[in-house]
Amino acid sequence: MLPSENKYLTNVSFDTVIFGFTGEELKILILEYQNSGMFALPGGYIRRDQNLLDAVKKGVMKRTGLKKIHLEQFHTFGKLNRSDPEPSKKIARGLGYELEEDNWVLDRFITIGYYSLIDYNQVRPAPNKFSDSINWYSINDLPPLMMDHKEIVEKALEAIRNDLGKKPIGTNLLPEKFTMKELRKVYETILNKKLRRTTFQRKMLSMDFLKRHEKLYTGAANKAPYLYSFDKEKAEKP
Amino acid sequence: MLPSENKYLTNVSFDTVIFGFTGEELKILILEYQNSGMFALPGGYIRRDQNLLDAVKKGVMKRTGLKKIHLEQFHTFGKLNRSDPEPSKKIARGLGYELEEDNWVLDRFITIGYYSLIDYNQVRPAPNKFSDSINWYSINDLPPLMMDHKEIVEKALEAIRNDLGKKPIGTNLLPEKFTMKELRKVYETILNKKLRRTTFQRKMLSMDFLKRHEKLYTGAANKAPYLYSFDKEKAEKP
């Protein structure tokens, strides 16, 4: 069944950019719709009886199988030319439906963008019944995305680069314990530039949100590095 | 005439927080609606044939008389409990209309928040036909605002405090030429804390977006301070 108008708010939707980090590069989750070959960000509509944020969380869970992920609102997209009924028609046709011209999903939508940073290795995204597949794509090698979804990805990246200086969001992309080198690699990948080892370490430690653990012994000849984790209590101190 | 449904997007609106600086305190523009005594942020709806940002600009112009102000989107508000038809009914009644229960303006709205920083002394806001008055109110002494408008103001302040570290937005609150002391006072008021004169001056000059002009001679015995202006060209350099 396609979503019916009276259950949802009209003219307003959400889209999500979910980032993972492979250790080398930044990837995002992209859905491919059945039989239409359309690539899209995981998104959806807001039920009339739902808080916006709850709708986004539920929608992400339904589309990707991911539970309890932290979502950050970053921008709302409202250009007139972002509305285009053709992709939605094509997707519906691929699913075996023919949409009437006045169907509410073909109307103009203003969409609210959310991003999320998750641990790439811990998640097994699962396609839902509308989609063929859900896959990680490198942000440097995305398939052709529908509507303005490319622009939404770029704006999300911009927001993350901005937020990185203020909040310790980078740790969300890593396993619970990580080395300083791994954290630096996250920052370097997001900011797309090399950072000095010593300056980076000093800055991170001065921001006081890391907890130091045991050393990581790998048996290699080089000096064993310390492991760190994100210290929620420290970070929340005023 | 009240706005008719088929000209506007449903379930989505905008609200604006327009800041001015008196030299001593931060104020925002608040509308008071005729005969209902309801206080509200200047806001409105989005025409189906308008870009979101154009709608916001036109709406601000219509409600406040202010032209060509720079607007910055900061957050979209979508909680279920922000919707309350009573204030809109009361406002309409004050204007001499009785709204039917199924009128689209009584439906749930997700609202997109924009802020603006303007030169307090240069603007003469003018009430429009729906409002009694439009006035500057100190952010520390606001009248009771309708719906979640208080929360919107707080979130706007938070956004400005955040943006202040990244962009030279503070200069928008000042006349074209200003002294370092005036700029520091803007920062101190927004951040709600005292800043060290020397550290502040060094930091501002290092960010390289100020152009130095002649000294401001007041005839007073103290040393004449330099005047500065915001240098758009410098600020836009990569």
DSSP label of B223: P
Whether residue B171 is contained in a domain is answered as no
- Shared domain check, A228 and A132: no
Q: Residue A45 maps to which CATH number?
A: 3.90.79.10
In angstroms, the CA B211 to CA B205 distance is 9
Exposure string (b/e) for B119-134, b if CB count within 10 Å is 16 or more? bbeebebebeeebeeb
Which tokens go with A203?
């800055």
The crossing angle, in degrees rounded to 10, of helices A197-206 and A180-191 is 100
Task: Indicate the residue of B12, B52, B162 with minimum beta-carbon distance to A79.
Answer: B52
**Same domain flag for B38 and B142:** yes
Query: What's the rounded Cα separation, in Å, for the pair A144 and A30?
Result: 10
Helical H segments across B12-123, by residue range:
52-64, 85-94
Within this chain, do residues A181 and A160 fall inside the same structural domain, yes or no?
Answer: no
B7 touches chain A (CB under 8 A): no
Q: Report chain B residues whose CB lies below 8 A from the CB of A46.
A: 78, 110
All residues of chain A having their beta carbon less than 8 Å from the beta carbon of residue B158 are none
Matching residue, tokens 């506007």: B8
Answer yes or no: do A89 and A47 share one domain.
yes
Cα(A109)–Cα(B80) distance, rounded to whole angstroms?
Answer: 19
For residue A11, is it within any domain?
Answer: yes
| Cβ atoms of A86 and A102 closer than 8 Å | no
Distance CA A70, CA A115 (A): 9
- Give me the tens of pLDDT residue by residue for chain B, a chain 238 residues long: 567 768 999 999 999 999 999 999 999 999 999 888 899 999 999 999 999 999 999 998 888 888 888 899 999 999 999 988 899 899 999 989 899 988 999 999 999 999 999 988 877 788 888 888 899 999 999 999 999 999 999 999 999 998 887 777 888 899 999 999 999 999 999 999 999 999 999 999 988 889 999 888 877 767 789 999 998 777 765 4
Kindly list the residues from chain A whose CB atom is less than 8 angstroms away from the CB atom of residue B166: 162, 165
Residue A110 and residue A77 in contact, taking contact as beta carbons nearer than 8 Å? yes
Q: Is the CB of B112 less than 8 angstroms away from the CB of A80? A: no
- Confirm or reject contact between A48 and chain B (CB < 8 A): yes
CB contact under 8 A, A76 and B52: yes
A99 inside domain: yes
Report residue A218 CA to chain centroid gap. Answer: 32
Tell which residue, B204, B216, B206, B221, has the closest CA to residue B177: B216
- B157 & B207 share domain: no
Rounded to an integer, what distance in angstroms lies between the CA atom of residue B199 and that of residue B180? 12
**With left for phi above 0 and alpha for psi between -120 and 50, is residue B179 left, alpha or beta?**
beta
Look at B78 and A49 and tell me if their CB atoms are within 8 Å.
no
User: From the CB of residue B236, how many other CB atoms can be counted at a distance below 10 Å?
Assistant: 8
On whether residue B210 sits in a domain, the answer given is yes
Separation CA A203–CA A161 (nearest Å): 16
Are the beta carbons of B117 and B169 closer than 8 angstroms? yes
B interface test, pick of A56, A110, A166 with most B CB neighbours within 10 Å: A110
Distance CA B43, CA B196 (A): 38
Look at B50 and A110 and tell me if their CB atoms are within 8 Å: no
Residues of chain A with pLDDT under 70: 1-2, 5, 221, 236-238
Phi, psi angle pair for B81, to nearest 5°: -80, 5
Amino acid present at A9: L
- In tens, the pLDDT along A53-73 reads 999 999 988 888 888 888 999
pTM: 0.91
Question: Which is nearest to B134 in space by CA: B55, B34, B234, B233?
Answer: B34
Q: Is B226 found in the same domain as B139? A: no
Among B102, B132, B164, the domain-final residue is B164
Find where tokens 């989505």 sit: B12
pLDDT at B2 (0 to 100): 65
A166 shares contact with chain B (CB less than 8 Å): yes
Q: What pLDDT is stored for residue A221 in this prediction?
A: 66
What token pair was written down for B216? 């401001």
Give a yes or no: residue B172 inside a domain: no
The pLDDT of residue A169:
85
Look at residue A142 and tell me if it is in a domain.
Answer: yes
Please report whether residue B170 resides in a domain. Answer: no
Same domain? For B100 and B188 the reply is no
> Do B21 and B57 belong to one domain?
yes
Is residue B184 one of the residues assigned to a domain? yes
Q: Left if phi > 0, otherwise alpha if psi is -120 to 50, otherwise beta: which for B35?
A: left
Closest listed residue to residue B106, CA positions, set B167, B194, B18, B45: B45
C-alpha distances in Å from residue A179, one per residue of A168, A176, A215: 15, 10, 9
Same domain for B136 and B59: yes
End residue of a domain, out of A129, A164, A199: A164
A74/chain B closest Cα distance in angstroms: 8
A198 in the same domain as A157:
no
Given a contact cutoff of 8 angstroms between Cβ atoms, the answer to whether B160 and B190 are in contact is yes
Question: B161 touching A, CB under 8 A?
Answer: no
Give residue B180's pLDDT. 94
- Which residue among A120, A136, A164 closes a domain? A164
Rounded to 10 degrees, the C-alpha dihedral B70/B73/B78/B81 comes to -50
pLDDT at residue number A26: 95
User: Do A153 and A92 belong together in one domain?
Assistant: yes
- Strand pairing report for B8-21 and B110-118: parallel
> Rounded distance, CA A225 to CA A217, Å?
8
Quote the minimal CA–CA distance from A214 to chain B in Å.
Answer: 35
Number of domains chain A is built from: 2
The answer to whether residues B197 and B154 belong to one domain is: no
pLDDT score of B63: 81
Task: For residue B210, give the CATH number of its domain.
Answer: 1.10.10.10
Distances in Å between the Cα of B134 and the Cα atoms of B60, B103, B125, B179 are 12, 26, 7, 30
* Separation of alpha carbons B135 and B45, rounded Å: 22
| Domain of A220, in residue numbers | 177-236
- Cα–Cα distance, A98 to A95 (Å, whole number): 9
CA distance A80 to B112: 16
- CA-to-CA distance for B10 and B24, rounded, in angstroms? 41
